[in-house]
Amino acid sequence: MGAEGLSRPAGAPILEVRRLCKDFVQSGGALKKGIVLNAVADISFDMHEGEILCLLGESGCGKTTLARMLMHLVRPTSGTIALDGVEVQDMGERQFRKMRRAIQMVYQNPFDCLDPSRRVGSLLAEPLKLWFGDLSSDERRSRIENVLVECGLDPECVGKRPKEFSGGQLQRLAIARALLVRPRLLIADEIVSALDVPIQNQILQLLTTMKEEHRFTVLFITHDLSVARKVSDRVMVMKQGQLAAIGPTSDVLDRSDDPYIQKLSASVFTFEGA
Ligand SMILES: Nc1ncnc2c1ncn2[C@@H]1O[C@H](COP(=O)(O)OP(=O)(O)O)[C@@H](O)[C@H]1O
Ligand SMILES: [Mg+2]
């Protein structure tokens, strides 16, 4: 990204997160009211170009809050986030806009990014209009058709509405929508948690194929250890807002003496609503 990106040494991290914290002041319930929750507590890690880093942890441990800070949807209480060596708070307006495009997210619930009342063609044209405003409508249409085919969907589906799609097809659509803007970092937050295992596998396959073809980096968030094993190069484990472990997938997940990781392993088949 920008001149700073070009002058960086080969192998420098694409993303550097340092001492990131997010506190929420609890509002609900007489017992909790006013108590500060350290949803993300002093998390530091790097991400390297082209890797799939899996963020693993039980429901409520702070995974989505961390992702939303990386997306700039939630302001950190403290700590820094740098993309290509430039800290977000030091970015000028143009660089900040580029950063917003460079990091895209796919959610557990596809309706978080796909308005069910609108047609697919208009849903997919929207990010192109936002980030690639100089494209003609023919160019937009052709990019949309190409990405739909790449994601295993019929290009004719532009006339349909999201409600006419199955769960797996909706996640294909959400991935297509994210890929249209050519992200450098894709955050996938529990994107297969609501799907049956065979459909999960198809979506994971799509994600890894797309990652190779389009050369982006993935932060893959899941509470499901078996999913983490299938896709990740490295794993980081969160526990109550803190970083419990980070390293190559097999090193971390086969450390069976860690009771927290064992517990995650045992709860593979439970559905997490968070
Ligand atoms: N906007 C918010 N206000 C108050 N508390 C929040 C908010 N968002 C998340 N939390 C709390 O922060 C903790 C971490 O939530 P979350 O990041 O969604 O966890 P995960 O994605 O790992 O399930 C939870 O206890 C959750 O209730
Ligand atoms: Mg979550």
Residue type, 254: D
Per-residue confidence band for 158, with pLDDT thresholds at 50, 70 and 90: very high
Q: Using CA atoms, how far apart are residues 139 and 84, in angstroms rounded to an integer?
A: 29
Residues 240-251: tens digit of each pLDDT: 999 999 999 988
Q: What is the predicted pLDDT for the residue at 267?
A: 63
Residues 106-119: tens digit of each pLDDT: 999 998 889 999 99
Every domain of the chain and the residues it spans: 2-266
Task: Fold for 2-266, please state it.
Answer: Rossmann fold (3.40.50)
Q: State yes or no: pLDDT of 3 exceeds 80.
A: no
Q: What is the mean pLDDT of the chain?
A: 90
Instruction: Specify whether the CB–CB gap between 83 and 164 falls below 8 A.
Output: no
Residues 44-97: tens digit of each pLDDT: 999 999 999 999 999 999 999 999 999 999 999 999 999 999 999 889 999 999
Instruction: Specify whether the CB–CB gap between 184 and 103 falls below 8 A.
Output: yes
Ligand closest to the CA atom of residue 240 = 1
What separation in Å is there between the alpha carbon of 60 and the centre of ligand 1? 6
Sheet with 86-87: strands ordered across: 36-47, 15-25, 78-83, 86-87
Of 58, 65, 112, the one to substitute when testing ligand 1's pocket (max ligand atoms within 8 A of C-beta) is: 65
Atom of ligand 1 lying closest to residue 62 CA: 17
Q: What percent of the chain has pLDDT over 70?
A: 93
Q: State yes or no: pLDDT of 127 exceeds 60.
A: yes
Q: Using CA atoms, how far apart are residues 234 and 13, in angstroms rounded to an integer?
A: 14
Helix (H, G, I), strand (E, B) or coil at 30: coil
Of 22, 23, 24, 73, the one to substitute when testing ligand 1's pocket (max ligand atoms within 8 A of C-beta) is: 24
Ligand closest to the CA atom of residue 37 = 1
